[in-house]
């Protein structure tokens, strides 16, 4: 019994003989020779240790044991066929498309979308949709997307993540600010600074506030602005107010204005992480590991381009749109 083995081919041969109850017609149906079929049935009988057919006067009669085994053989064949079909469906689905929910900077998303750079992933078609972080999490845990990319933490027991990019956040100060002479700042120094801030719903503002709150610090915002008004605050340089900023954004937007300095805080804590999230048990992070590598390279590359794009949109486009008559 321990060495018993029934192949799928043997089961199909048996069921085909039962269907015709004639070796010659069954062999024709299977596109094999009659001796080969007879040998297959004999091996099956030997493997099972029971007689499957009685042969009398060139007529086949199903044995009592075969009648008992017949429904189980049929279930075996059906289960095998279903297994192959499900595997084919999974293969087709996995190779057809990968759906990603993106939550973060709309400028970064627009670069993912319009550059079509993810089309270079040849294993599947990649669809990326822009949503807020709550929707991204919901789509992921309900299986409506395969991955979610976010620069805020998506927390759920079922999901894991891979960090795509870690970008330090510092504080930009007027060169004559009392704290500007320091090489770096402490978290408690944030309470000594008055800030020009983005609107409370802006992802970067939310990120900075959340990190500060974990350290028991609440930033003091004297203004809360959309990006156009925020940029005007940069240009005004009131000599006393600071800005949360990445070093990259400082180099692009503040340095050309002049009279500003960039000071790091504790960047092991105050930083922006962009991560890709996935359902751990689905194991799609292994299936699409090359896609994740591509997204990581694209994220690093486009991080620099994002600040340039945001500046172009908010300076040039927003200036032009003022003249459009609605």
pLDDT at position 3 is 59
pLDDT at position 253 is 84
pLDDT tens per residue, range 11-22: 999 999 999 999
Helix, strand, coil shares, percent, the chain, to 5: 50, 20, 25
Torsion sign, CA atoms 223, 228, 230, 233: negative
Name the nearest CA neighbour of 162 among 266, 284, 271: 284
Q: Is the pLDDT of residue 144 over 60?
A: yes
Q: What gap in Å lies between CA 161 and CA 181, rounded to an integer? A: 39
The conformational region for residue 216 under phi > 0 = left, psi -120 to 50 = alpha, else beta, is left
Specify the domain boundaries for CATH 3.40.190.290 within the chain.
165-271
Please answer whether residues 242 and 177 qualify as being in contact, where contact means their C-beta atoms are separated by less than 8 angstroms: yes
8-62: in CATH 1.10.10.10: yes
Q: How would residue 53 be classed by pLDDT, with cut points 50, 70 and 90?
A: very high
* pTM assigned to the model: 0.59
Specify the domain boundaries for CATH 3.40.190.10 within the chain.
95-162+275-321
pLDDT at position 87 is 75
Q: What gap in Å lies between CA 309 and CA 110, rounded to an integer? A: 9
Q: Which residue has the higher pLDDT, 127 or 308?
A: 127
Q: Is the pLDDT of residue 316 over 90?
A: no
Q: How would residue 306 be classed by pLDDT, with cut points 50, 70 and 90?
A: low
CA atoms within 13 A on the CB side of 100: 24
Q: How would residue 313 be classed by pLDDT, with cut points 50, 70 and 90?
A: low
Say how many residues make up the chain: 326
Specify the domain boundaries for CATH 1.10.10.10 within the chain.
8-62
pLDDT tens per residue, range 206-225: 889 999 999 999 999 999 99
pLDDT at position 1 is 46
Question: Which residue pairs from 65-72 have beta carbons closer than 8 angstroms and sit at least 24 positions apart in sequence?
Answer: 66/14, 66/18, 70/15, 70/18
Q: Which residue has the higher pLDDT, 178 or 122?
A: 178
Task: Classify domain 165-271 at the CATH class level.
Answer: alpha beta
Q: What is the mean pLDDT of residues 140-157?
A: 90
Please answer whether residues 101 and 143 qualify as being in contact, where contact means their C-beta atoms are separated by less than 8 angstroms: no
CATH superfamily of 95-162+275-321: Periplasmic binding protein-like II (3.40.190.10)
């Amino acid at each position: 019994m321990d060495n018993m083995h029934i192949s799928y081919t043997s089961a199909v041969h048996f069921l085909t003989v039962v269907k015709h109850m004639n070796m010659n017609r069954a062999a024709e149906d299977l596109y094999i020779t009659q001796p080969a079929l007879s040998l297959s049935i004999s091996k099956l009988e030997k493997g099972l240790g029971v007689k499957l057919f009685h042969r009398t006067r060139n007529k086949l009669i199903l044995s009592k044991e075969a009648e008992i085994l017949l429904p189980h053989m049929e279930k075996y064949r059906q289960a095998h066929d279903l297994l192959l079909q499900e595997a084919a469906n999974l293969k087709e689905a996995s190779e057809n498309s990968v759906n990603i929910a993106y939550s973060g900077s709309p400028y970064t998303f627009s670069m993912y979308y319009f550059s079509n750079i993810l089309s270079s992933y040849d294993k599947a078609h990649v669809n990326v949709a822009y949503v807020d972080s709550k929707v991204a999490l919901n789509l992921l845990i309900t299986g409506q997307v395969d991955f979610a990319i976010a620069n805020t933490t998506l927390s759920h027991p079922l999901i894991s993540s891979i960090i795509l990019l870690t970008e330090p956040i510092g504080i930009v100060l007027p060169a004559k600010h009392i704290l500007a002479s320091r090489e770096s700042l402490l978290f408690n120094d944030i309470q000594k600074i008055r800030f020009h801030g983005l609107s409370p719903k802006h992802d970067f503002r939310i990120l900075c506030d959340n990190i500060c709150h974990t350290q028991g610090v609440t930033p003091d915002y004297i203004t809360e602005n959309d990006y156009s008004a925020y940029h005007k605050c940069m240009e005004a340089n009131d000599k006393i107010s600071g800005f949360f900023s990445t070093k990259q954004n400082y180099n692009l937007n503040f340095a050309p204005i002049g009279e500003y300095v960039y000071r790091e805080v504790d960047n092991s804590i105050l930083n922006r992480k962009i991560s890709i999230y996935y359902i751990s048990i689905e194991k799609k992070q292994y299936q699409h590991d090359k896609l994740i590598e591509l997204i990581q390279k694209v994220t690093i590359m486009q991080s620099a381009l994002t600040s340039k794009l945001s500046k172009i949109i908010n300076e040039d486009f927003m200036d032009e749109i003022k003249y459009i008559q609605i």
